[in-house]
Homo-oligomer: A and B are copies of this chain.
Amino acid sequence: MSFDRTIRHCRQCGHPVAKRLPDDGDTRERDICTVCSTVHYINPLNVVGTVPWWEDRILLCKRNIEPRLGKWTLPAGFMELGETTAQGAARETVEEAGAQFEIEDLFTVMSVPRVGQVHLYYRARLTSDQFDPGHETQEARLFREDEIPWEELAFRTVRETLQRYFADQRAGRFGTHAFDIE
């Protein structure tokens, strides 16, 4: 997934775009083709993942790719066209951890406006404690709450999701948590 989302040329005809207001009442400048007038939008991206649990432990993956190579994360990645949020979360959990599990309820919905992303995590009940991580993962391992490498987590979305998971576990009831990360 490339992160330079700048649009320089029209996806329809290849000519240069220029930033201007569209003619449809839109109040934001868009990248509009100087020849065929196609309007190009750049939209937020969804990242979908899981909190895979086995008894009192959570599955984390040590990243084998940038960014945050060597840091620990929950399995997650960009949602693909044609899948649901839950299907995408399940796909990433298979790809990154080779885990076997059943998807449960939606757990966190986090807007991260600084990077134009929305992150959605589902709880996932592991049906095996054996993993077969893919090339994006150095190691997949189960952690009890007091073993979580809090200082070695890859992303704030992962930390915030884990904090709420253990809080809900102590409270004996899991909810759906929607909040923003500045």
User: How many of chain A's residues touch chain B, expressed as a range?
Assistant: 35 or more
Report the stretch among A1-9, A155-163, A164-172 that lies at the interface: A1-9
B180 near A84: Cβ-Cβ < 8 Å: yes
A178 in the interface (beta carbon within 8 A):
yes
Task: Rank and list the top 3 A-B pairs by shortest CB-CB distance, nearest first.
Answer: A9-B14, A84-B111, A14-B14
Task: Please give, as numbers and ranges, the residues of chain B lying within 8 Å of A9 by CB-CB distance.
Answer: 9-14
Task: Please give, as numbers and ranges, the residues of chain B lying within 8 Å of A118 by CB-CB distance.
Answer: 46, 79, 85
The CA of A82 and the CA of B115, in the complex, are separated in Å by 7
A105 in the interface (beta carbon within 8 A):
yes
A1-40 interface bits toward B, Cβ cutoff 8 Å, 1 = contact, 0 = none: 1101011111111111000000001001000000000111
Tell me the A40-54 residues at the B interface (CB within 8 Å): 40-46
B15, B38, B43, B135: the one contacting A81 at CB < 8 Å is B43
Tell me the A97-153 residues at the B interface (CB within 8 Å): 105-106, 109, 111, 113, 116, 118, 120, 135-136
Task: Please give, as numbers and ranges, the residues of chain B lying within 8 Å of A106 by CB-CB distance.
Answer: 109, 176, 178
The CA of A16 and the CA of B37, in the complex, are separated in Å by 18
B176 near A178: Cβ-Cβ < 8 Å: yes
Could you list 15 examples of A-B contacts with CB < 8 Å?
A8-B13, A9-B9, A9-B12, A11-B11, A11-B40, A25-B136, A41-B78, A42-B81, A43-B80, A44-B46, A44-B79, A81-B116, A85-B111, A86-B178, A109-B176
Task: Please give, as numbers and ranges, the residues of chain B lying within 8 Å of A8 by CB-CB distance.
Answer: 11-14
